[in-house]
Structure 1
Amino acid sequence: MKKIRILLADDHTILRNGIRALLEDEPDLEVVAEAEDGRAAVNLACQLEPDVAVIDIAMPLLNGLEATRQIKRQCPRVRVLILSMHDNEEYIRQVLEAGAMGYILKDAAAKELINAIRSVHQGEAVLSPAITRLVIEDYLRWGGIRPADKDGILSAREREVLQLIAEGYTNKQIAGILTISVKTVQAHRLNLMQKLDLHDRGELIKYAIQKKIIEI
């Protein structure tokens, strides 16, 4: 029997180890790699091309939403299942739009996660029951048409820079992480402030927290 190859991405080692042990008790599941941040998750997903990438939404360096966007753009055959403690409507909408095939809450029963991985592998969309209710309520509230969000005017690189700024990295450190020049980082920072009508680092950090780009 061919096993379902899984990439597990979560920045909490104890939780990651527990999920790995749970999954590897199943004869048809195999964890082929682990990542503790979003950038590593993208690199491993495209390098190994697992069948399913199980990704935490809140990770350092690159959050689960941006990691999903990059995985679906760079290695679209990899199917993404989001594992999160948040039942936030905005989170859910954005990750589904980014290409994730499922969204499961971390307090779900073990069997729910295992079945979700199998379903996503088969090409089926999967949501925790509580998430399904929120998605329906969100659709009924907006009728499928939502007000414009400033997030939509940011480029992928600007969103990456915003997260790293909010996580406390200096311009030089951000340049090293993204392999770009310090001047380019400064240009992205200026563009962020202009597009979002923000005026200093503190306001950028506050915006990132409000939009759940980072957690505190």
Structure 2
Amino acid sequence: MNINVLLVDDRQLLLECLSNRLNKEPTIRVVGVVSNPEFLLHEIIATSPNIVLMNIGMKLVNGIDLTVELLKNMPHLRIIILSKHDYAEYIQAAYNAGASAFMTEEKPIQELIFTIKQVYSGHKLFPKIEVIKIDKMLTPKEYEILKWIAEDKTNSEISEEMMISIRTVEYHISSIIRKLNVESRVGAVVTAIKRGLLSIK
């Protein structure tokens, strides 16, 4: 039985190279490539992939946001996040978003093939990161609040959107500011964008 894989990246050349290489593997079949994330949902419905292989850092939107959105409606979907960097923030964000694996682009193709097969079998594969760094990562709720802040929402508006008290919102914002080692809401957004946790829209 073939493992059907959908590739998502805004670099067309990389998509073609990766597709050609993966299709040489007897048990893997690339069912589609998506260079524009706007067409991702349509392509998933059309091709029914077992696994989505997605880059974390695309120009229009990042792979973390896409992972969260996809898994809300398709929790069975297995997503592998690819990245140029193995920053602890990226790894933890991918894990929190519900991805099945994270690996850097520099890894050999055979390791990627191994990861695809392992994820298809139900395993989760993430690089080990220092526990001291994990403690500083944002929780899913903090990440959601950070995205609302990036959209210039007030504490009151975030409270209404998330159906939590303003005091709780303020608590989470203080935690975000502390974890990102910044001094303000604006600083938190800027730092998150630099680290690839948020996309510039």
Do they fold alike, i.e. is TM over 0.5?
Answer: yes
Where in structure 2 are the equivalents of 1:95-134 lying within 5 Å?
95-127=94-126, 131-132=127-128
How many residues of Structure 1 are paired with residues of Structure 2 in the alignment?
175
Q: Deviations over 1:16-35 (max 9, x none)?
A: 11100000111211111111
Distance verdict in 2 for CA 1:210–1:189, change over 3 Å: same
What amino acid is aligned across from residue 147 of structure 2 in structure 1? R
**SS of 1:25's equivalent?**
coil
Q: Deviations over 1:129-184 (max 9, x none)?
A: xx33xx2xx22x26x6x24749844548x73894xxxxxxxxxxxxxxxxxxxxxx
Distance verdict in 2 for CA 1:211–1:29, change over 3 Å: same
Q: Is the 8 A contact 1:9 1:53 kept in 2?
A: yes
Residue 98 of structure 1, CA deviation: 1.1
Distance verdict in 2 for CA 1:211–1:51, change over 3 Å: same
Where in structure 2 are the equivalents of 1:142-157 lying within 5 Å?
146-147=135-136, 149=138, 152-153=141-142, 155=144
Counterpart position of 2:7: 8
Unaligned runs of 5+ in 2: 159-172, 178-183
The reply on whether 1:53 has 2:43 as its aligned counterpart is no
The reply on whether 1:210 has 2:194 as its aligned counterpart is yes
Residue 46 of structure 1, CA deviation: 4.8
Identity of aligned residues (%): 22
Determine the C-alpha separation between the residues in 2 that align with 1:125 and 1:54.
Answer: 14
Determine the C-alpha separation between the residues in 1 that align with 2:22 and 2:111.
Answer: 12
TM-score calculated relative to the size of structure 2: 0.73
Counterpart position of 1:168: none
Q: Is the 8 A contact 2:89 2:137 kept in 1?
A: no
Q: Is the 8 A contact 1:49 1:75 kept in 2?
A: no
Q: Is the 8 A contact 1:49 1:78 kept in 2?
A: no
What amino acid is aligned across from residue 50 of structure 1 in structure 2? P
Determine the C-alpha separation between the residues in 2 that align with 1:111 and 1:148.
Answer: 30
**SS of 1:54's equivalent?**
strand
Relative contact order, CA 8 A, sep 6+: which one is greater? 2
Determine the C-alpha separation between the residues in 1 that align with 2:20 and 2:148.
Answer: 32
Q: Is the 8 A contact 1:45 1:71 kept in 2?
A: no
Residue 47 of structure 1, CA deviation: 5.0
**SS of 2:152's equivalent?**
helix
What amino acid is aligned across from residue 191 of structure 1 in structure 2? T
The reply on whether 1:44 has 2:43 as its aligned counterpart is yes
Residue 214 of structure 1, CA deviation: 4.1
Determine the C-alpha separation between the residues in 1 that align with 2:147 and 2:41.
Answer: 15
Counterpart position of 2:87: 88
Q: Is the 8 A contact 1:38 1:60 kept in 2?
A: no
Q: Is the 8 A contact 1:52 1:79 kept in 2?
A: yes
Residue 204 of structure 1, CA deviation: 8.0
Q: Is the 8 A contact 1:37 1:62 kept in 2?
A: no
Distance verdict in 2 for CA 1:49–1:25, change over 3 Å: same
